[in-house]
Amino acid sequence: MSSTPNDAPTVPRDPMVSFENTSVQYPNGHRALQNINLNFYPGEFVVIVGLSGAGKSTLIRCVNRLVNPTEGIVRVAGQNIIGLPDGELRKVRARIGMIFQNYNLVRRSSVLRNVLTGRLAHLPAWRTLLGLFPQEDVQLALACLERVGIPEKAYQRADTLSGGQQQRVAIARALAQQPYILLADEPVASLDPPTAHQVMRDLKQLSREENLLTLVNLHFVDMAITYADRIIGLRGGELVYDGTTEGMTEESFEEIYQRRIRPDDVLIKEADTPVEAVSGGR
Amino acid sequence: MEDNPAHSARPSLPPPPPFPWQLWAIAGVVFAFLWWSAVETGVNWEAFREGFPELGEYFGRLLPTSENPWPLDYLPLIQEKLIETIKIALGASIIGSALALPFALLGARNLAAGKWVYNLGRGFLNLVRTIPDLILATLLAAVFGIGPVAGLLALTVFTFGIVAKLLCDTIETIDPGPMESVTAAGGSYLERALYAAFPQVAPDFTAYSLYAFEVNVRAAAVLGLVGAGGIGANLQQSISFMNYSRVGLIIFVTFIVVLIIDTFSTWLRSRLV
Amino acid sequence: MTPAKRYDWLIPTVYAVLTIAALWWSFSDMELTLDRLIKGGAQLSGILRQMSQADWSILPKMGQGLKESVQIAALGTVLAAILAIPFGALAARNLSGVPFVPALGKFLLNFIRAFPELILAIAFIKALGPGAFAGVLAVGIHSIGMMGKLYAERIETVDKGAIEALTATGASPAEVFRHAIVPEVLPDFLSFALYRFDLNVRAATVLGLVGAGGIGTLLDLQRKGGKWETIGVILLGIIVTIGLIDHFSAQLRAKLA
C-alpha cells in the first residue's frame, strides 16, 4: 500500500477537510449542526466528543455527504463537495473510508468479498456488476486483511467472526479504498474493553503509518484522552471545544457536556485493567 | 506492502477455496431439467404470441363496456349459489377445526401418550395434507353425488389438515409450567390437556379457524368447476355457453365477497392475538 | 367468588352458541340429509373395496402424468420467480421514490393472488388449446402474486447498514444493489421459490382436471369411467410424489436459511 496517496495535497498546512459556516437543519426543524467552522489536516487523529444528539454523527457524515448540509460549504482536498453531481460525489467518496458501530458488513458474503467492496468505486461497471474483480484488486484486498491481522479468515462468511474481527474487516474494507480520509462513527461502542482498545490502537497506528486523516466519534471520555491528538467537542450542534489533550481530564469533559460525567461515559470503570500505552507493536 | 519485523508468528493466507464443481453441476442439472421440461410440455412462444391477443380479447370480454354491460339481472340468480359457497366454507371450517382440536391435543409432542402415538399422528397429518383439496372434492362428488355435500366434506378434510398442523406446532411451543402443575397436583392426561394446554392455545385456535375460513372461501369458489357445489357451477356453465359478460360478473362478485370476508377475518384475527 | 368470575362462563357460552348457530345455518338447504350420508357411506365402502383391488397396469401412464405435473410446476415456478422480481421491487416501500407506487404494486399482487388458478387455466386453454403449456402459464402467472409479495416484504427488511456502508465507499446504486442487497436476499428468494414449487405441484395435479395437462387429466378420465381400481393407485402416486417433494423442499430450505 502506498505510504502517502499521490494525489493528496503535500503542502502540510492545506486542510484536507474544511467546514465553512456549515449548518444542517432537518425538515422537522431540528438544527443538528450550527455554523461550524473547522479545518482538518492530513494525518491528524481527531476524536469528536459530545452527548448523543450533539451532532457528532452528523458532522462526520457531512464529510462524505451521507448527510447534506443545508447551509455553508464543506471542502474535501480543496474541492467544495456541496452540489456535486452524483458521479463526481462517488469519486470523492471513493477516497473516504468509513467504519460504523455495527460494522455494516454484508453478513452472508465472505470476508474477502466484503473487503473487495471497497474497490467497487475504483472499477468499471461491467466488472462490478458481474462481480469479476481483477487479480491485483484481490491481492490488494488480501494485503489489507493481512494488515489488520486476520488473513486466515479471508474465505469465511462474515457473520461467523467475532465483533472485534468484523470491525477489522470493516477497517480492511476502508483501507482497500486507499483513502486519504478515514471516518469512524462510534467504532468501539459494541466491543468489550480489551478489543475496543485494540481497535483504537490499530486505527491510530494506521493513521500514523499512512498519514491518514482520521475522524473518530467516541462517547468514552477516557478513550478520547488516551488516543486523540486533537479533540473536537460538540454541544447542541455547536463547536464548543477544539484543542489538544494537553492537561485534559475527565472533568474537562463536564465543561463540554455541561453535566457531570457518568459511569457509562467511561470505558474502563474505576480500578479495572490499566489502560495500555499506545505503542507501535500489536 | 509494509512489513513490521515485530510480527514473527503471523497468521498466514489460507489456500483459496477450490472451484465449486458441485454447485455448478447441480445448476447444470437443474437447467437441463427445466429445458427438457419446456420441450416436453410444449412451451411454445410463437403459440403464446399468437394466442396472446386472443387471450387479451377474452379478458376484455370479461369487463363491462357500454355495448356489453354486465347482466345485473343475473345477480339474484347467483345470489343463492354465492351464499351456498359461503356456507360450504363456514361449515367445513367449523367441523374441520372441531375435529382438529382433540387430534392436536392428543397428538402433540409434549402431550402425547407416547412417541408411537405422536409419530402416527404426524404421519397421518402429513398424509391428509398431501392430498390436494380439489382432487378430493372431485372424487367425493363421484361418491356422494354432485353438489355442495361433496365440497363440504372435501374442505372439512382440508381444514382439518391445516388447523391440526398449526395447532400441533403451537401446542409444542407452549409454556410447560401449567402442565407440570397439573401433573404435580395429580391430574390426569385429560385434565392436563383441558386445563393447562387448551387455555394457552385457545386464542390461536380461533385465529387458525378464521384463517382456514379465509382459505376455504377461496377454495369453495372454485369447487363448482369440478362439480362440488358453490358458485363455480354457474361459472362453468357461463364459460361453456361463452357468455363472458356473465363470467366477468361472477368473477368480480366472487372477488368482492372474498375481499370482504378476508378483511373482516384478518381484522378479527388481529383482535385475538 | 369475585364478581368477575361470575361471568367467566359467559364468553365461552356465547362462543359455543354462535358456532352452533353458524353450523346450523351452513347446513341449511344443503340436502345434507342423513339419508344421503348413509347412501354415500354405503357407496363409499363399495368404492373402497374396489380400490383395494388395485390395478397396477396404470403405473406407466401415471408416471407420465405425474412427471408432467412436476414439470408444469417447475416451469411455472421458475417463470414466476423471475417475473415477480420487478413486481416485488416495485411493491417494496424502500425502493421506489414515489409514495403511491408501492401501494399500487401490492394491490396488483394481491389481485393476481386472488385470481383462482383454475380460471386462469381455463382462460389459457381457450386461447392456446388444452395441454401442459396452458398449465405452465396458469401456475406461473398465479404464483407471481405470492412470490412478488414475499419478495417485496423481504426487500423491505433488508439490512440498511450494509447499504449505507457501500454507498459511503462511492459505489453506484446498481453496485450497492448487486453487492449488498442481492447477497442478502438471494438465498431467501430461492427459499421462497422452493416453497412455491411445493405448492405448485399440488396445483398442477389439480389443473389437469380441467384439461391443463398432468396427472389430473388421467384421474378425470378414470373417474368418469368409474375405474376406482386405478384411481386408488393414482391417488397413491400423487401422495407419494407430493410427499417426496415436500420432504426435499423442506430440507433444501433448511440449508438455505
Partner A, chain B 7-26, Cβ-Cβ below 8 Å: 7, 10-14, 16-17
Partners of residue C115 in chain B, C-beta under 8 Å: 251, 255
Given this model, what pLDDT does residue B67 score? 66
Of the partner residues C161, C167, C187, the one whose CB lies closest to the CB of residue A108: C187
Inform me whether the pLDDT recorded for A202 exceeds 80: yes
Chain A residues touching C178 at Cβ < 8 A: 128-129, 131
CA distance C24 to chain B (A): 8
Find chain A residues with C-beta within 8 A of C183's C-beta: 106, 108-109, 113
Which residue did the predictor score with more confidence, C161 or B249? C161
- Section B78-88 average pLDDT: 88
> How many residues can be counted in chain A?
282
Burial class (CB in 10 A: 0-12, 13-18, 19+), A6: exposed
Query: Nearest chain A Cα to C188, which residue?
Result: A108
Contact: B1, A146; criterion CB under 8 Å: yes
When pLDDT is cut at 50, 70 and 90, the band that residue A141 belongs to is very high
Among the residue ranges A143-147, A165-169, B183-187, C144-148, the one predicted with the least confidence is B183-187
Instruction: With a cut of 90, say whether residue C165 has pLDDT above it.
Output: yes
Q: Which of A103-107, A175-179, B68-72 has the lowest mean pLDDT?
A: B68-72
Q: Given the C-alpha cell 452472508, which residue does it identify?
A: A108
Angle, helix B133-144 to helix B198-223, in steps of 10 degrees: 70
Q: What is the pLDDT of residue B154?
A: 93
In a domain, C43, yes or no: no
The answer to which of B182-191, C84-93, C209-218 has the lowest mean pLDDT is B182-191
Domain assignment present for C174: yes
pLDDT (mean) for A104-115 = 94
DSSP run (H or E) holding A240: strand A238-244
Question: How close A126 comes to chain C (CA, Å)?
Answer: 10
Q: Is residue C126 part of a domain?
A: yes
Q: How far is it, in rounded angstroms, from Cα C125 to Cα B225?
A: 15
Structure ipTM: 0.85
| Cβ contact, residue pair C175, A173, below 8 Å | no
Q: Which position has the higher pLDDT, C204 or C52?
A: C204
Residue B136 has pLDDT above 70, yes or no: yes
Q: How far is C122 from chain A (nearest CA, A)?
A: 41
Beta strand ranges found along B146-185 (DSSP E): none
The answer to whether residue C30 sits within a structural domain is: no
Give the mean pLDDT of B60-83: 77
Domain assignment of residue C162, given as a range: 65-256
CB-CB: which of A142, A281, A282 is closest to B13? Answer: A142
List the subunits that have 3+ CB pairs under 8 angstroms with A.
B, C
The secondary structure element, H or E, covering residue A262 is: none
pLDDT of residue C41: 81
Average pLDDT of the residues in A142-162: 92
- What is the pLDDT, as a whole number, of residue A138? 93
Q: Residue B110: is its pLDDT beyond 80? A: no
C75 pLDDT above the threshold of 90: yes
**pLDDT class of C5 with cuts at 50, 70, 90:** low
CA distance B176 to C255: 30
Identity of the residue in A142, A143, A155 whose CB atom sits nearest the CB atom of B17:
A155
Rg (CA), chain A: 19
**Which domain CATH number covers C188?**
1.10.3720.10
C116 interfacial to chain B (CB closer than 8 Å): yes
* Binary contact (C171, A97; C-beta < 8 A): no
pLDDT tier at A114, thresholds 50, 70, 90: very high
Q: Do A173 and C165 touch (CB under 8 A)?
A: yes
A150 lies within 8 A of chain B by CB: yes
Nearest chain B residue to C224 by CA: give it.
Answer: B142
Mean pLDDT of chain C: 87
In DSSP terms, which residues pair with A23 in a beta bridge? A71
Categorize the per-residue pLDDT at B3 as very low, low, confident or very high, splitting at 50, 70 and 90: very low
The answer to whether the beta carbons of residues B202 and B101 sit under 8 Å apart is no
pLDDT at site A270: 46
Domain total in chain C: 1
Bigger pLDDT: C223 or A255? C223
Which residue does chain A place closest to B4, by CA atoms?
A281
The pLDDT tens digits of the residues spanning B142-158 come to 888 888 888 999 999 99
Residue C248 lies in a domain: yes
Q: Which of the pair, B243 or A82, is modelled with greater confidence?
A: A82
Answer whether residue A160 shows pLDDT above 90: yes
Q: Are C131 and C207 in contact (CB under 8 A)?
A: no
Would you say residue A251 has pLDDT above 90?
no
Res B1 pLDDT > 50: no
SS3 at position C35: helix
Give C53's pLDDT tier (boundaries 50, 70, 90).
confident
pLDDT band of residue C6 (cuts 50, 70, 90) is low
Q: A55: phi > 0 → left, psi -120 to 50 → alpha, else beta; which?
A: left
Highest mean pLDDT among A211-220, A236-245, C93-102: A211-220
Q: Which residue from A198, A236, A240, A189 is spatially nearest to A217, judged by alpha carbons? A: A189
- Chain A nearest-CA distance from B1, in A, is 5
Return the DSSP state at C237. H
Average pLDDT, chain B: 82
Measured between CB atoms, which of C32, C118, C213 is closest to B222? C118
Element housing A97 (H / E): strand A96-99
In a domain, C1, yes or no: no
Query: Of A39-43, C92-96, C168-172, which range is least confident?
Result: C92-96
Mean pLDDT over B107-111 rounds to: 69
Q: Three cell numbers at C192?
A: 421462497
Residue pair C188/C252 in contact (Cβ under 8 Å)? The answer is no
* Ramachandran angles phi, psi of B71, nearest 5°: -75, 90
CB count within 10 Å of CB A20 equals: 17
In a domain, C132, yes or no: yes
Which residue of A90, A105, A174 is in closest CB contact with C172?
A90
Candidates B91, B131, B134; nearest CB to C26: B91
pLDDT in tens, C232-245: 899 999 999 999 99
What's residue B41's pLDDT?
A: 79
- Indicate if the pLDDT at residue B6 is higher than 70: no
CA distance B62 to B251: 9
Residue A128 has pLDDT above 80, yes or no: yes
Inform me whether the pLDDT recorded for B5 exceeds 70: no
Look at residue C222 and tell me if it is in a domain.
Answer: yes
Distance from CA of C172 to the nearest CA of A (A): 7
Q: Could you report the per-residue pLDDT of B210-231, keeping only the tens digit for each?
A: 999 999 998 998 898 888 888 8
Residue C1 has pLDDT above 60, yes or no: no
Q: CB distance from C183 to chain A under 8 Å?
A: yes
Answer whether residue A176 shows pLDDT above 90: yes
Q: Report the range of poorest mean pLDDT among A54-68, B61-75, B233-247.
A: B61-75
H/E run at residue A202? helix A193-210
pLDDT category of residue C111 using cuts at 50, 70 and 90: confident
Mean pLDDT throughout C152-174? 92
A100 reaches C (C-beta below 8 A): yes
Q: How confident is the model at residue A95, as a pLDDT?
A: 95
Interchain pair A100, C178: CB under 8 A: no
Higher-pLDDT residue of A269 and C166 is C166
